[in-house]
Amino acid sequence: MAWLKGVTYAHRGLHGPGPNGTSLPENALSAFAAAIEAGLGIECDVQRSSDGQAMVFHDWELDRLTAETGLVIERSAAKLAQIRIIGNDEDTIPSLRQLLDLVAGRVPLLIEVKTRPSTHIPAICLAVRRMLEGYRGPVAVMSFDPRVSRWFARHSGHTVRGLVMMEEGSRTLFARTRRHIMLWRAQPDFLAYDITDMPSRFAGAQRKRGFPVLTWTVNTPELLERALKHGDGPIAESAGVPKAARP
């Protein structure tokens, strides 16, 4: 897991203003291509289509990022692939396969698996694992949901897996115990921790045990400085991306 450390990961790709007045939407192939060109790692979000394909999109609903409405999971992969993302006429919702083909092992890739309490965990995990079969390059899956990391620990032990965590200002004994239980349930290889909770006694203790600790979402120079001091790799966007890597 050494490859996880010392990398700045572009949060949902290097999205925002692009060259020549263009816009690079989040989780779009153009934003991922810009991250690769800048030498950044990539973080993306994945959820299922109605026909069980792993699609790269953050929101459960289409409304914020496209001209369509409704839930992502109610559309097939083919239908989703035809939906343009607001901000760039060239970008449509990509599949995980398209992203993997684009990256092709050139930069490290973090795949955040989106879930809700009602999510059928084996289905989304299988969809991701199928796409990763035969992929050559540094890649890891992660999720707020400990069920995802635990599934990969049991059924795809060679896949690097992480647990995304946040403290939300709660550092009581009950909250610390709950975090330890989540860690035990998830059986992760690394943590992705909310930068606003850093420095964290819990995260620091896991880091001393050998767990790489990535930090999200780093979006200011001050948070980047904190991330570099207390973590192993910032997941960054906007002003949190080192100046040398910005468009």
CA 122 to chain centre: 19
What distance, in Å, lies between the first and last C-alpha atoms of the chain? 29
pLDDT in tens, 193-214: 999 999 999 999 999 999 999 9
Confidence (pLDDT) at 13: 98
Q: What is the mean pLDDT of each run of 10 residues along the chain (247 residues)?
A: 96 88 91 97 98 98 98 98 94 98 98 96 98 97 98 97 92 88 97 97 96 98 98 97 84
Confidence (pLDDT) at 22: 75
Question: What's the CA angle centered on 106, arms 190 and 226, to 5 degrees?
Answer: 45
Confidence (pLDDT) at 17: 84
From the CB of residue 193, how many other CB atoms can be counted at a distance below 10 Å? 28
From the CB of residue 104, how many other CB atoms can be counted at a distance below 10 Å? 11
The token duo for 129 is 């694992």
Confidence (pLDDT) at 173: 83
Distance CA 235, CA 9 (A): 5
pLDDT in tens, 65-114: 999 999 999 999 999 999 999 988 899 999 999 999 999 999 999 999 99
Confidence (pLDDT) at 187: 97
Confidence (pLDDT) at 71: 98
Q: DSSP string of 41-52?
A: EEEEEEEE-TTS
Whether 231 contacts 198, CB under 8 Å: yes
Dmax over CA atoms of the chain, in Å, equals 52
Confidence (pLDDT) at 41: 98
